[in-house]
Chain A
Amino acid sequence: MRPFEEVKILDFTWLGVGPLAVNYLSFYGATAIKVESAKRPDPLRHLTPYVKGIPGLERSYYWAHAHPAKRLDITLNLNNPKAIEIAKRLVAWADVVAESFIPGTMEKWGLGYEDLKKLKPDIIMLRTCMHGQTGPSAKHPGLGLVLTALSGYVAITGWPDRPPSGLYGAFTDFIAPLFNAICLIAALEYRRRTGKGQCLDVSQHEAVMHCIEPLLLDSVVNRREPTRNGNRIEYAAPHGIYRCQGDDRWCAIAVFTDEEWKSFCRVIGNPAWTDDAKFHTLLGRKQNEDELDRLVEEWTSQHTPEEVMDLMQAAGVGAGLTANAKDISEDPQLKHYQCYQELDHPETGKMSFYLPPGFTLSKASYERVRPPILGEYNEYVYTKLLGIPDEEFVQLMQEGVFD
């Protein structure tokens, strides 16, 4: 049996962080009912690019990226009081209720934590948003795209001689869900042991800053702010990303020890410049790092990044080709871990696109399932799971309860 096969999640989350967190439970067997609305489907469905450039609610690549795990997708118009009644019945069914709305939204619908506890005293509620449920900024809307700026990640990414370059896309949207999943699974474990549920209030901002904690301590204790160092590192050289043969082809190389330096020199053919005493020591290489990097790049530019990586790694020196999307699709190590699984989808067809967890378990397998279609499980959830008689179901549908 998969770890979470008996866990039931009522999933109100949308966009990136929430669904990406719930995935870790769905991958491992949880039944997650995803609540959308036909009038206001998950905005992630609208994010371009679309498969074959054709707009459609099932065709967004972002949607496919965030939903490689099973959801029982239903539509429910929470602005209709009868829908709220149905939502409450689903709460009674669930072990976990997850949401990522602006604070106050669930309360407005009568689905705040106090309301949920009345329906299910041991419910676990996961509430995740940018700033947390309380505080002056709680209702300030946000996105992963700007959280990187708020959390210090942008400030540390770039070159020393210019303003920060920033990170690609909503980078923190892939870090915050991991923190969410951690406290959610811990809460499930705690409930298993004690029978107690809880309300988890996760501020994505508060969570992701733990990854740069030393920089916060540095500011507190030493009144020092971080600098951007490009691809260099304080205590090693050569360390960088070097241009290789080909159009925009690069390879990362990192030499940390004397042994690695000797191996590095051997790989590049022990050219005369490596005999220069100034490059023998780490301090010497750091003092002459501009020249060192130029000389390293003179060699790397004569080789493809694949050659650089193969030769260096074979000699025990850390090196990695700076992979673009084509390289990633061909990476043998990622293939070994079944990185992109091909799944069939009624509208977008077979796509080799769906990602796995970043780990494997030796006694439990994860399951990838194609992204859910809007309202796909309405009939199942409403008439079978909740047992709403067919006539009533049709009546409610006509009243717009399932819009």
Chain B
Amino acid sequence: MGHTIENMLSPYRILDLTNEQGYMCGKLLGGLGADVIKIEKPGGDRGRNMGPFFHDTPDPKKSLYWFAFNTDKRGITLDIETTDGQEILKRLVRNADIVIESFPPGYMDKLGLGYSVLSRINRRIIMTSITGFGQTGPHKDYKAPDIVVWALSGNAYIFGDPDRAPLRPSFPNFSYIVAGVLQATIGTLIALYHREIIGEGQHVDASAQLSLIWPFNAEPPGLWREDGTIVKRQGRDYLRPQVGRDGKTFWVGAPMLWQCKDGDIAFTIMAGLGQGESTKALTQWVDSEGMAGETLKKIDWISFQWETVSQDVLDEVIKDFGKFFMTRTQAELLEGAQKRGIMLYPVLMPKDILKLRQLEFRRYWEEVNHPELGTSITYPGPFFKTSLALDRRYRRAPLIGEHNEEIYIKELGLSKQELLILKQNGVV
């Protein structure tokens, strides 16, 4: 029942009301030792319908999406839209430290479960709300599916090939997962740390759109400021905008993604002190194969200036590198890159990632037991290592209502009869 061995957040209990957009917050906090209780609608969260599924059986008990993002959580069912459900949640809040939710703004308030109410029940409660656009503002009530957030974050416009539509990665809820939820987790921990100073909790308002402005990066807003230049999608190339002394923007660049003998690799031509060594090392390798042209041989990558190079020169370099890459496989290029200190990596698929010697050496992979499936599954392990001997064992995602008895009867003191009534009425 809960964690008995110490980890960084072991004393803390978290009530996790998130949907499939927000699951990862509780997962990370649970991985740090918090007692996370995932609260699902009776019958299970909608997120359990997200594929892929274990052996392709579309079953709410077999969603790999659910498995991945709900590790280290216990699970109960509760319908917070019922009066009984709300009362039970409030009782749980009394002894909880954090509530995380990802409902549309105003939903929790409408149910009488907003921060103002919960903080009166427990002044130390921290509430973290994760949404597409934030709790307030002119667009707070916008429907915020993932692709809409990508579009309004500016990132879609700068992803993809110039001859096609702007693009977003083919992964559901990615804008939430890589940005909004991670930032919400940071905010939550800051509130937790702050709580010891001010003696009370507070409300964390995380916006996926605002979080995603960071990877929108420096150039698009910077060049817009400079002279109204709009950075557009560049596909597999990395074009460098240079602002000339006449104030006008021009572009030079080279591929970031290249084809090789058996797939794609990523390599960016970098120059200057510290960064140019990589390109220098590649040039030496290419030259040792007799494949470096005169232009390439003459370049000093340490003193190379992006501001003054012409695209013609770069095109020669691109030709030589491109031809060289086509003579080698991903594995050969990675091996050579590692040996020579070249910042070159293959474009990996999961099956390649699973085979990486580095991750095996680091004992990154964890076998997590799924007794309900009669097997264990290999998961990526903790996202950091520490010198402390903390309890870092993984627990698989909860089954539907798996901990109902533990929480409702043993902790809250409901009788078996009461739980039966609530179950049959659909409250739990």
Which B residues, 372 to 419, have Cβ-Cβ distances below 8 Å to chain A?
377-381, 383-388
Inter-subunit contact B137/A332 (CB<8 Å): yes
Is B148 at the interface (CB under 8 A from chain A)? yes
Inter-subunit contact B275/A43 (CB<8 Å): yes
List of A residues within 8 angstroms of B17 by Cβ? none
A156 in complex: contacting residue of B166, B170, B307, CB < 8 Å: B170
In the complex, per-residue mask of B140-156: 1 if CB is within 8 Å of any chain A CB, else 0: 10111111111111111
30 contacts between A and B (CB under 8 A): A49-B223, A135-B361, A137-B358, A142-B345, A143-B268, A149-B346, A151-B353, A164-B264, A165-B235, A168-B158, A174-B179, A174-B214, A174-B215, A186-B8, A186-B32, A199-B387, A201-B385, A214-B68, A216-B354, A230-B164, A240-B165, A252-B148, A254-B145, A319-B143, A322-B166, A324-B232, A329-B224, A337-B207, A358-B212, A364-B194
Inter-subunit contact A254/B147 (CB<8 Å): yes
Task: Please report the C-alpha to C-alpha distance between residue A193 and residue B350 in the assembled complex, in whole angstroms.
Answer: 39
Measured between C-beta atoms, what is the minimum distance from B127 to chain A in Å?
9
List of A residues within 8 angstroms of B359 by Cβ? 205-206
Is B338 at the interface (CB under 8 A from chain A)? yes
Is A276 at the interface (CB under 8 A from chain B)? no
Number of A residues with CB within 8 Å of any CB on chain B: 161
Task: Please report the C-alpha to C-alpha distance between residue A193 and residue B270 in the assembled complex, in whole angstroms.
Answer: 45
Measured between C-beta atoms, what is the minimum distance from A300 to chain B in Å?
11
Is A370 at the interface (CB under 8 A from chain B)? no
Task: Please report the C-alpha to C-alpha distance between residue A44 and residue B379 in the assembled complex, in whole angstroms.
Answer: 35
Is B293 at the interface (CB under 8 A from chain A)? no
Task: Please report the C-alpha to C-alpha distance between residue A212 and residue B136 in the assembled complex, in whole angstroms.
Answer: 30
In the complex, per-residue mask of B245-280: 1 if CB is within 8 Å of any chain A CB, else 0: 101010000001101000011111010111101100
Closest to A363 in B: B202
Given known contacts A46-B272, A182-B185, what 8 new A-B pairs fall within 8 Å (CB)? A65-B217, A65-B222, A165-B235, A173-B215, A183-B386, A217-B68, A231-B167, A241-B166
Is A396 at the interface (CB under 8 A from chain B)? no
Inter-subunit contact B364/A325 (CB<8 Å): no
In the complex, per-residue mask of B153-192: 1 if CB is within 8 Å of any chain A CB, else 0: 1111111110011111111101001111011111101111
Which A residues, 132 to 184, have Cβ-Cβ distances below 8 Å to chain B?
132-143, 145-159, 162-169, 171, 173-175, 178-179, 181-183
Closest to A360 in B: B205
Given known contacts A222-B55, A325-B221, is B388 in contact with A166 (CB within 8 Å)?
no
List of A residues within 8 angstroms of B245 by Cβ? 53
List of A residues within 8 angstroms of B318 by Cβ? none
Is A339 at the interface (CB under 8 A from chain B)? yes
In the complex, per-residue mask of B212-255: 1 if CB is within 8 Å of any chain A CB, else 0: 11111111111111101011111110101111110101000000
Is B54 at the interface (CB under 8 A from chain A)? yes
Inter-subunit contact A337/B180 (CB<8 Å): no
Which B residues, 8 to 34, have Cβ-Cβ distances below 8 Å to chain A?
8-9, 11, 24, 28, 32
List of A residues within 8 angstroms of B379 by Cβ? 213, 216-217
Is B206 at the interface (CB under 8 A from chain A)? yes
Interface contacts (Cβ under 8 Å), in number, total 526
B205 in complex: contacting residue of A137, A213, A359, CB < 8 Å: A359
Task: Please report the C-alpha to C-alpha distance between residue A222 and residue B56 in the assembled complex, in whole angstroms.
Answer: 7
Inter-subunit contact A322/B151 (CB<8 Å): yes
Measured between C-beta atoms, what is the minimum distance from A292 to chain B in Å?
15
Closest 8 CB pairs of A and B: A358-B211, A53-B243, A149-B266, A61-B222, A358-B183, A336-B137, A219-B350, A65-B218
Given known contacts A53-B226, A168-B234, A362-B115, is B205 in contact with A317 (CB within 8 Å)?
no
Is A256 at the interface (CB under 8 A from chain B)? yes
Given known contacts A140-B338, A313-B142, A323-B153, is B307 in contact with A48 (CB within 8 Å)?
yes
List of B residues within 8 angstroms of A214 by Cβ? 50, 52, 64-65, 67-69
Closest to B382 in A: A206
Is A88 at the interface (CB under 8 A from chain B)? no
Inter-subunit contact A202/B384 (CB<8 Å): yes
Task: Please report the C-alpha to C-alpha distance between residue A52 and residue B158 in the assembled complex, in whole angstroms.
Answer: 22
Closest to B220 in A: A325
Inter-subunit contact A157/B348 (CB<8 Å): no
List of B residues within 8 angstroms of A373 by Cβ? none
Inter-subunit contact B167/A179 (CB<8 Å): no
Is A221 at the interface (CB under 8 A from chain B)? yes
Inter-subunit contact B353/A154 (CB<8 Å): no
Task: Please report the C-alpha to C-alpha distance between residue A217 and residue B380 in the assembled complex, in whole angstroms.
Answer: 9
Inter-subunit contact B358/A215 (CB<8 Å): no
Inter-subunit contact B202/A362 (CB<8 Å): yes
Is A34 at the interface (CB under 8 A from chain B)? no
Inter-subunit contact A217/B377 (CB<8 Å): yes
List of A residues within 8 angstroms of B256 by Cβ? 145, 166
Task: Please report the C-alpha to C-alpha distance between residue A137 and residue B191 in the assembled complex, in whole angstroms.
Answer: 37
Measured between C-beta atoms, what is the minimum distance from B227 to chain A in Å?
9
Number of B residues with CB within 8 Å of any CB on chain A: 166
Is B120 at the interface (CB under 8 A from chain A)? no
Inter-subunit contact B157/A323 (CB<8 Å): yes
Inter-subunit contact B216/A320 (CB<8 Å): no
Is B319 at the interface (CB under 8 A from chain A)? no
List of A residues within 8 angstroms of B343 by Cβ? 141-143, 145-146
Given known contacts A210-B380, A210-B383, A318-B143, is B230 in contact with A324 (CB within 8 Å)?
yes
Measured between C-beta atoms, what is the minimum distance from B58 to chain A in Å?
10
Inter-subunit contact A325/B350 (CB<8 Å): no
Is B110 at the interface (CB under 8 A from chain A)? no
Which B residues, 355 to 370, have Cβ-Cβ distances below 8 Å to chain A?
356-359, 361-362, 364
Inter-subunit contact A166/B235 (CB<8 Å): yes
Measured between C-beta atoms, what is the minimum distance from A260 to chain B in Å?
8
Inter-subunit contact A336/B307 (CB<8 Å): no
Q: Which of the 9-residue segments A71-79, A243-251, A265-273, A379-387 touches chain B?
A: A243-251
Given known contacts A318-B145, A336-B137, is B207 in contact with A326 (CB within 8 Å)?
no
Given known contacts A202-B384, A213-B68, A220-B378, is B152 in contact with A331 (CB within 8 Å)?
yes
Inter-subunit contact B151/A252 (CB<8 Å): yes
Measured between C-beta atoms, what is the minimum distance from B109 to chain A in Å?
14
Is A1 at the interface (CB under 8 A from chain B)? yes
Measured between C-beta atoms, what is the minimum distance from B126 to chain A in Å?
9
Q: Which of the 9-residue segments A103-111, A283-291, A348-356 touches chain B?
A: A348-356
Closest to A61 in B: B222
Which A residues, 298 to 348, have Cβ-Cβ distances below 8 Å to chain B?
313, 316-329, 331-334, 336-337, 339-340
Measured between C-beta atoms, what is the minimum distance from B30 to chain A in Å?
12
B388 in complex: contacting residue of A163, A196, A340, A351, CB < 8 Å: A196
Given known contacts A157-B167, A163-B236, A363-B198, is B148 in contact with A254 (CB within 8 Å)?
yes
List of B residues within 8 angstroms of A205 by Cβ? 358-359
Inter-subunit contact A178/B350 (CB<8 Å): no
Inter-subunit contact B384/A207 (CB<8 Å): yes
Task: Please report the C-alpha to C-alpha distance between residue A194 and residue B203 in the assembled complex, in whole angstroms.
Answer: 26
